[in-house]
Amino acid sequence: GYKVEGYTCNVGNKTERQELIKKIADKHGRIDVLVCNQASSTYFGTQMDIPEAAYDKMFDLNVKSIFFLIKECKELLINAGKEANVLVVSSIAGRNPSPYLGVYDMTKAALDNMVHWLSKEFMDLSIRVNGIAPGLIKTEFSGVLWKGNESVPEKAKGTSEQIASVAATMSSRDGSFINGEIYYVHG
C-alpha cells in the first residue's frame, strides 16, 4: 500500500542536493524521516600515507554533505510536525577504529558527535535526531573486508535487512522516545 519514488542525487554536490530538496518541497512540502546514509571510503592502508585529496573527499561526503543536507532540510522537517526525525547512518568503526581505515572511521566518529549535539539543538523543534552504527554488513561497499576473508566469522557479517529493521523502529512511532542515541548494531 505504499507509493515509493526515487530521485538520483549526489548529496556531495550542493546544486544537486538543493534541486532534490526543492523537488521534495514542491511535491510534498515536508520530510517526515530523513535518513542520511551516504559514505565514501577512498583509502585503505597506512593512514599516514593517505593523499590529501582522498582525505578531503571522505570528509566532504561523509561529514560535510550530511551536515548541509540536514541543515537544508530543516524547514521541511519542521513542516512534518512531531513525527519528524533524522537518522544518521554511522558505523561501529567510529567507536572502534581500524589502522587501515582510520580517516574513514574518524568521519564516522564525527557523525556520532553530530547526532548528539543536533538532537539537543533540534529538541525544541520536535525533531528527533539519532544514529545507527552498523558493524560489518554484507554489501558491495564493504566487500573488500569480508569477501573471501575466512578470518571473519559468518555470524559477524550482518545483512541490510537486519539494519533496516532497527532503523525502521528508530524512525517510527515505536521510537518516538528515542533522541540523541547511537545504536550499535553488530553481531
Q: Which residues are catalytic?
A: 104
User: Quick one: which of 135, 129, 125 has its CA closest to 67?
Assistant: 129
What strands lie across the sheet with 85-89, from one edge to the other? 33-36, 85-89, 128-134, 182-185
User: Quick one: cell of 185?
Assistant: 548494531
Cα–Cα–Cα angle for 96, 186, 112, rounded to 5 degrees: 50
Q: Which amino acid is at 4?
A: V
